[in-house]
């Protein structure tokens, strides 16, 4: 049978209309006894034996991304990537989707491949999301993408906070085992309101209860008088219920389009990972972790014709205070000139896009 999620041509076991599926969301057969009269099938299926629930838990955290105590995305818990515009949230989401579909790693951590479809809610600037995902795949991947990846374009038909069954209904309609919400602000309107935050969290928990894994992209707020670097859950935009219901929260920080951004694991299912500096290869849609303690390695990671400003942000970390940023640039210039002096780098003058004096740019020499 040809499968078309938008024309309703679904596999035989999923022919129930969406509204009926949403009404039955959460239902499951009960082995121990018939449902009690007056108690819904959904409620009956969630009664569990205490001993099994408490004592039969696995020794290690089952992970979608990670292993042992090094876990970014735990099974049964939402994983949230937070950051401003242009810092690489969708880039990382695309890398996670590729690993779910084809296997592999995410930031060096093993990924458990999806057994079903991945539903990607491309709600925040779908055209940009399409370009971002396009960097992860080639024509050779078309068959797998057609079979295992489903895209929902634009906002949901109803506000998820007001209709908590919406997310689980959408996932079940297309047999999804994983759902990517890109981004939260488009799924529910008014996330700073606790009622909205709690409503969204209820929708999220319904999805998780059905065994469907959730990856969410969200935005941060600026902290402090100078927009100090966000590092805590208090820096995540919206109601506290948004982060309270997530199992793992990562915060990215940098300027839009930065090649290097900071990574902080603000909420962890096990041991915290990082803090790291992430290096984005925007052309290929790839991201790597590197420790900025080797000037030559940092310069090589950044690519060719690197400005002093870009090198300083990568090597010393982004700064919002102009005095600190200026000091970092001077230190960076000395390190770069030292690399040129010993033949490990080259420099040249190029036109300044902002006008004024030419700008020095540097490239690592690879032997």
Per-residue pLDDT of the chain (367 residues; tens, 9 = 90+): 444 444 444 444 444 444 444 444 433 444 544 554 544 445 556 788 889 888 987 888 999 999 999 999 999 999 999 999 999 999 999 999 999 999 999 999 999 999 999 999 999 999 999 999 999 999 999 999 999 999 999 999 999 999 999 999 999 999 999 999 999 999 999 999 999 999 999 999 999 999 999 999 999 997 655 667 889 999 999 999 999 999 999 999 988 888 888 899 999 999 999 888 888 887 888 898 876 567 887 887 777 889 999 889 888 877 878 888 899 999 999 999 999 998 889 999 988 777 778 889 999 887 6
Q: Residues 236, 221: contact at Cβ < 8 Å?
A: yes
Q: Residues 319, 328: contact at Cβ < 8 Å?
A: yes
Whole-number Å distance between alpha carbons of 43 and 138: 45
Burial class (CB in 10 A: 0-12, 13-18, 19+), 304: exposed
- Rounded to 5°, the CA angle 269-274-276 comes to 140
Model pLDDT, residue 187: 96
Which region, left, alpha or beta, applies to residue 210 given φ > 0 means left and ψ of -120 to 50 means alpha? alpha
Model pLDDT, residue 3: 45
Q: For tokens 């700008």, name the residue.
A: 359
Neighbouring residues of 179: CB distance < 8 A, sequence distance ≥ 6: 118, 119, 120, 121, 167, 170, 171, 207, 212, 213, 214, 215
CA neighbor of 81 nearest in space, from 320, 247, 260: 247
Whole-number Å distance between alpha carbons of 104 and 49: 36
Structure tokens at 53: 């629930």
Model pLDDT, residue 29: 41
Q: Is 334 helix (H, G, I), strand (E, B) or coil?
A: helix
Q: Is 269 helix (H, G, I), strand (E, B) or coil?
A: coil
DSSP code, position 14: G
CA neighbor of 252 nearest in space, from 316, 326, 318: 318
Model pLDDT, residue 44: 52
Helix axes 322-341, 308-316, angle to 10 degrees: 100
Model pLDDT, residue 348: 92
Q: Is 30 helix (H, G, I), strand (E, B) or coil?
A: coil
């Amino acid at each position: 049978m040809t499968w078309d999620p938008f024309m309703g041509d679904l596999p035989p076991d999923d022919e129930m209309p969406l509204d009926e599926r949403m009404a039955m969301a959460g239902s499951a057969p009960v082995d121990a006894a018939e449902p009690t009269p007056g108690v819904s099938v959904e409620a009956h299926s969630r009664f569990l034996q205490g001993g099994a629930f408490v004592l039969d838990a696995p020794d290690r955290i089952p992970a979608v991304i990670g292993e042992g105590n090094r876990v970014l995305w735990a099974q049964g818990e939402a994983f949230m990537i937070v950051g401003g515009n242009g810092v690489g949230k969708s880039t990382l989401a695309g890398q996670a989707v590729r690993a779910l579909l084809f296997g592999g790693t995410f930031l060096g951590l093993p990924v458990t491949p999806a057994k079903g479809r991945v539903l990607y809610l491309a709600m925040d600037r779908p055209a940009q999301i399409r370009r971002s995902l396009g960097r992860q795949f080639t024509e050779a991947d078309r068959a797998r993408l057609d079979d295992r990846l489903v895209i929902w374009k634009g906002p949901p038909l109803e506000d998820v906070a007001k209709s908590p069954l919406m997310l689980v209904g959408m996932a079940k309609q297309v047999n999804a085992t994983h759902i990517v919400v890109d981004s939260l602000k488009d799924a529910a309107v008014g996330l700073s309101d606790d009622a909205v935050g709690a409503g969204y969290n209820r929708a999220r928990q319904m999805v998780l209860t059905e065994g469907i894994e959730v990856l969410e992209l969200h935005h941060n707020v600026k902290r402090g008088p100078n927009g100090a670097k966000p590092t805590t859950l208090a820096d995540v935009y919206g109601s506290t219920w948004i982060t309270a219901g997530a199992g793992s929260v990562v915060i990215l920080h940098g300027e839009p389009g930065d090649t290097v951004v900071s990574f902080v694991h603000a909420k962890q299912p096990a041991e915290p990972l990082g803090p790291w500096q992430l290096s984005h290869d925007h052309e290929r849609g790839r991201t790597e972790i590197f420790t900025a303690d080797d000037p030559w390695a940092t310069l090589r990671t950044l690519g060719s014709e690197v400005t002093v400003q870009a090198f300083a942000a990568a090597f010393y970390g982004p700064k919002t205070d102009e005095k600190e940023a200026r000091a970092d640039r001077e230190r960076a210039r000395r390190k770069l000139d030292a690399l040129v002096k010993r033949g490990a780098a080259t420099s040249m003058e190029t036109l300044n896009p902002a006008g004024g004096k030419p700008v020095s740019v540097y490239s690592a020499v690879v032997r």
